[in-house]
């Protein structure tokens, strides 16, 4: 009827875009035969080839490439058809694009490469293809920063410019727990001690994210367990995660059981992200294990040389107070919830289980020689903490060990 084959919608999308996106080979053939522009772009820079790559359709991608589609035309934000195919998990499409000249090291909006996208989306088969075609395992994403903080958000000292980015593909594997991809990256020469722009190592990032299998893979390939340029190490993160197996793997590979936590970390606002709150700064793994009610980890740490008599001295501000709060708490006190501020309960435990594990942690701390009548900076003892937390069986045990309230001393 004389309709223009390249007539576009208001955002620049043509019929060829839609047919490619919907994987309609027959219609695409008709449009191309009628002279449709195979490299037409919409307002975002998307081409029909980009749309086909998003679907992971090898037949459609082949048809468009044969018709002269440019594999390196990117979105305005920088994303190329190769990146979207890698993100979609289509190794055959990735292979086709590479064969037709797609650039493996093209960068997206924040400097991510196709390899990073494939790793981040757990597409190990795509990683295989990209590495076979020379993708750079040492390439890093862009570095940027933003103001972040921790509660109490009204305190200026709990806000700071936080650096993000600077990640290699291996760092993305650590973030998502991509063991299969990580194994390939290491074999291709990736540095197992890679760090991001903030100084967080791949091992620490994997531990913080809770991926013990990846932590073990990195350690087995020579990763440094004590890397702590960012102010915390993998052992601190593993203890916070209450992951005994991960803690054991780190200790077996030489992690320092007495390393001190040197900084707080920022969660997303109003989230339940695992993070190190300011009251924890200065603590050791053993003290943290006690505070997180992990008696099995406490026992493991002591077996590897942790000092159970360490006293944690904290200096921080609570949300309702303008003056610093000073604390001096033993691991025994920490086991009953004393010290460390008002931490979120990251433990998916019921009341009875919490009390049972608290009793086990308290028993262990007493067996290790921690003074049951030590006082904190508020002249409270561990008995006061147990009473305040209404831990009845713990109170009974402490009293049987001669524990006194701070006011009765």
Instruction: Check residue 354 and give its pLDDT.
Output: 85
CA dihedral 185, 190, 194, 197 (to 10 degrees): -80
pLDDT band at 408 (very low <50, low <70, confident <90, very high): low
Q: Is residue 218 part of a domain?
A: no
Q: Is residue 309 part of a domain?
A: yes
Q: Is residue 349 part of a domain?
A: yes
Instruction: Check residue 407 and give its pLDDT.
Output: 67
Name the pTM for this structure. 0.91
CATH of the domain at 309: 1.25.40.20
Q: Is residue 388 part of a domain?
A: yes
Q: Is residue 383 part of a domain?
A: yes
Instruction: Check residue 350 and give its pLDDT.
Output: 76
Residue range(s) defining the domain that contains residue 327: 280-409
Q: Is residue 289 part of a domain?
A: yes
Whole-number Cα distances in Å, 158 to 30, 118, 205, 307:
62, 36, 22, 29
Q: Is residue 5 part of a domain?
A: no
Q: Is residue 389 part of a domain?
A: yes
Number of domains in the chain: 1
Give the tens place of pLDDT for each residue, 246-305.
Answer: 999 999 999 999 999 999 887 766 566 788 888 899 999 999 999 999 999 999 999 999
pLDDT band at 7 (very low <50, low <70, confident <90, very high): confident
Model confidence at 316: pLDDT above 60: yes
314/134: higher pLDDT:
134
3-state secondary structure of 328: strand
> Are 87 and 121 spatial neighbours (Cβ–Cβ below 8 Å)?
yes
Nearest to 251 by CA among 310, 295, 303: 303
Average pLDDT over residues 381-393: 93
Whole-number Cα distances in Å, 92 to 1, 58, 126, 178, 280:
38, 6, 8, 21, 49
Of all residues in the chain, the percent with pLDDT exceeding 70 is 91
Average pLDDT over residues 180-202: 97
Instruction: Check residue 345 and give its pLDDT.
Output: 47
């Amino acid at each position: 009827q004389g309709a223009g084959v390249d007539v576009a919608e208001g955002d620049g999308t043509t019929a060829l875009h839609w047919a490619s996106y919907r994987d309609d080979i027959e219609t695409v053939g008709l449009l191309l035969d009628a002279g449709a522009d195979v490299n037409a772009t919409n307002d975002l820079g998307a081409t029909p080839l980009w749309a086909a790559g998003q679907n992971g359709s090898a037949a459609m991608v082949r048809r468009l490439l044969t018709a002269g589609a440019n594999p390196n035309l990117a979105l305005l934000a920088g994303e190329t058809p190769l990146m979207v195919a890698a993100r979609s998990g289509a190794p055959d499409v990735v292979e086709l694009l590479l064969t037709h000249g797609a650039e493996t090291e093209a960068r997206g909006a924040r400097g991510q490469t196709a390899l990073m996208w494939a790793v981040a989306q757990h597409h190990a088969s795509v990683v295989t293809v990209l590495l076979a075609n020379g993708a750079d395992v040492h390439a890093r994403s862009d570095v940027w920063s933003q103001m972040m903080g921790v509660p109490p958000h009204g305190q200026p000292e709990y806000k700071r410019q936080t650096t993000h980015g600077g990640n290699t593909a291996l760092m993305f594997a650590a973030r998502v727990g991509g063991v299969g991809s990580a194994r390939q990256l290491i074999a291709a020469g990736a540095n197992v001690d890679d760090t991001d722009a903030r100084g967080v190592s791949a091992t620490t990032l994997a531990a913080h994210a809770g991926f013990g299998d990846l932590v073990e893979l990195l350690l087995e390939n020579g990763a440094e367990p004590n890397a702590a340029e960012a102010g915390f190490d993998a052992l601190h993160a593993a203890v916070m995660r209450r992951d005994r197996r991960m803690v054991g793997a780190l200790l077996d590979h030489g992690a320092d059981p007495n390393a001190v936590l040197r900084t707080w970390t920022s969660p997303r606002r109003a989230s339940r992200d695992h993070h190190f709150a300011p009251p924890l700064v200065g603590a050791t793994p053993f003290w943290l294990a006690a505070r997180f009610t992990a008696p099995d980890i406490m026992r493991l740490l002591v077996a590897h040389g942790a000092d159970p008599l360490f006293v944690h001295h904290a200096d921080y501000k609570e949300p309702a107070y303008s003056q610093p709060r000073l604390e001096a708490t033993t691991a025994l006190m920490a086991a009953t919830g004393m010290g460390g501020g008002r931490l979120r309960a990251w433990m998916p435990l019921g009341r009875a289980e919490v009390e049972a594990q608290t009793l086990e942690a308290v028993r262990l701390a007493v067996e290790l020689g921690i003074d049951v009548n030590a006082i904190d900076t508020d002249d409270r003892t561990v008995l006061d903490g147990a009473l305040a937390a209404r831990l009845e069986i713990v109170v009974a045990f402490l009293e049987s060990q001669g524990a006194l309230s701070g006011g009765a001393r």
